[in-house]
Chain A
Amino acid sequence: MIRAAGWILWKDITLEFRGRELLVPAGVFGLLIAMLYGFAFDPAKNGLHGTFPGLLWLGIFFASFLAVGRAFSVEAEASQQLLLAPIDRGSLFLAKLALNILLTLVLAAVMTPAFAILLQTGLPPETGTFLLIEALGLVGFSAAGTAMGALAAQTRLRELLLPALLLPFTSPLLLGVVSATKALYGGEVAAAGNWIMLIAIFDVIFIVVPVLLFEFLTEV
């Protein structure tokens, strides 16, 4: 199961390196968001420290939508044959999950510094903890996004349906990551720890439940 997932991931990364169909549009969109926020909120005059965590995470989530929504469409050209191969259905989910985690991590790595510079807030203190929050948050977002992307890919509306399916689920995650980041800016590391726990629970639920249910989805 893991080996097959590895090969599918290898194929997707090769495709992404050659075509750059996911990262480049999503990355450009992410940087544009930072710039537009800068225009709209005028960071020089009103300090944005209070709202920065919310702005940053919404930006990352919206940009990630573009990448996560397409992850299953990449397969569209050959999904039939891939499903005919003697591989466990769970491995396809795992491969897509790993791909989405990588994509969103790269996006966040580009967007976070850009946001910190353009909105003139700087990174929060306890940068190590902040990176942990980013990693866990993006794992959760990718897990939920992969599950909902698998559902949405088979509908008439395709990616258009994804926001309506995914955003309500990610609201507790958004609350978690924004609150944790805010706590870091306020210097309350213990409070951030509690929020990190919530994010971790979200991650576990959205990795385990879809793996269990994915079998049903590929049957029809």
Chain B
Amino acid sequence: MLEGRQLRLFLGSRAILRGVDVAVGPGECLGLFGPNGAGKSTLLSILSLQREPTSGALRMFGAPAHVDDLALRRRLGYLGHEPGVFLGLTGMENLVFYGRLYRLSGVARRAEAALSRVGLGPFRHEIVRNYSAGMRQRLALARATLHQPDILLLDEPHQSLDPAGRDLLDAEIRSQCQRGGAVIFASHEVARGYRLATRLMVMRRGKVEWQAEPASAPEDEFRRALDGALGGGVR
């Protein structure tokens, strides 16, 4: 479904990504791990078509992917560090607005369903400024999945969610995979991420250091690889 080969990104003379190979197929869930500054968020921003890589080939659904391909954007869902919802609008209005931009049919019905799925049904007509951080993140999750994307890209989605919200998010990710979609998420949640992912990838300094499938790699091996990446620096 998605395949990136030798992705590199330079900002001026700074190398942020130094040749990353990444691929997901239908039903797969790829977990990205590594210290801050490893390039996880940058990789996700390239995969979500926010910026072109300096070099390397990115293909989606069998065709080269470009930043200005609007049809392709409709098949991607992205949830970043910021919830990306408007504080002055109600939860419902936020979803309806995004639904309109994605040209969905039956927007109101879909928005209602999405809101009750993330447990915000009773609060749907309240202004988002009054939401707690966890509620905003739930709304952001509803927003990212509203148009039922084929590929879901999540940048540290567990952050700022309450425990119930985390379970909800995990269920959402699993159902996305069962539907035949793909998920790529970046996380600092070692145990939760290990259970969730169908493939694990540890990044450090813009490169992939270690990758394996949880079936063949016990959790302590994964933890050792991650500790190596975290401790390899100067800290």
- Footprint of B on A, CB under 8 Å? 4, 7-8, 10-11, 14-15, 18-19, 77-78, 80-88, 215, 219-220
Contact = CB atoms under 8 A, between A and B. Distances in A.
A77 B100 contact: no
B89 A11 contact: yes
Given A81-B85, A87-B101, 15 more contacts: A7-B97, A7-B101, A11-B93, A15-B86, A77-B82, A77-B84, A77-B86, A80-B50, A80-B82, A84-B49, A84-B73, A84-B78, A86-B71, A86-B74, A220-B51
B80 interface: yes
B89 A87 contact: no
B123 interface: no
Interface string B50-78: 11100000000000000110110110101
B88 interface: yes
B171 interface: no
Q: Which of A80, A82, A83 gathers most chain B CB within 10 Å? A: A80
B22 interface: no
B73 A78 contact: no
Contacts of B103: 86
Contacts of A78: 82-86
Contact of A86 (B50, B97, B102): B102
Contacts of A88: 70
B52 to A, nearest CB: 8
Given A7-B97, A219-B67, A84 B85 contact: no
A70 to B, nearest CB: 13
B73 A85 contact: yes
B84 A81 contact: yes
A81 B93 CA distance: 15
For the complex of A and B, the 7 pairs showing the least CB-CB separation, nearest first, are A81-B84, A85-B101, A86-B70, A86-B73, A15-B88, A78-B84, A86-B74
Interface of B: 48-52, 67-68, 70-71, 73-74, 76, 78, 80, 82-89, 93, 97-98, 100-103, 127, 143
Contacts of A81: 78, 80, 84-85, 98, 143
A18 B101 contact: no
21 contacts: A7-B101, A11-B86, A11-B89, A14-B88, A14-B89, A15-B89, A18-B89, A77-B86, A77-B87, A78-B83, A78-B84, A78-B86, A80-B84, A81-B85, A81-B143, A82-B84, A82-B101, A84-B73, A84-B78, A85-B73, A85-B98
A7 B50 contact: no
| Residue of A15, A18, A85 most packed against chain B (CB within 10 A) | A85
B67 A11 contact: no
A215 B73 CA distance: 16
Contact of A84 (B71, B76, B89, B100): B76
Contacts of B73: 84-86
A87 B86 CA distance: 18
B129 to A, nearest CB: 9
B80 A80 contact: yes
Given A18-B88, A78-B86, A81-B84, A11 B97 contact: yes
A63 to B, nearest CB: 22
A4 B70 CA distance: 13
Q: Give the most central of B78, B98, B127: most A CB within 10 Å.
A: B98
Contacts of A86: 70-71, 73-74, 101-103
Contact of A85 (B51, B68, B102): B102
A74 to B, nearest CB: 9
A18 B127 contact: yes
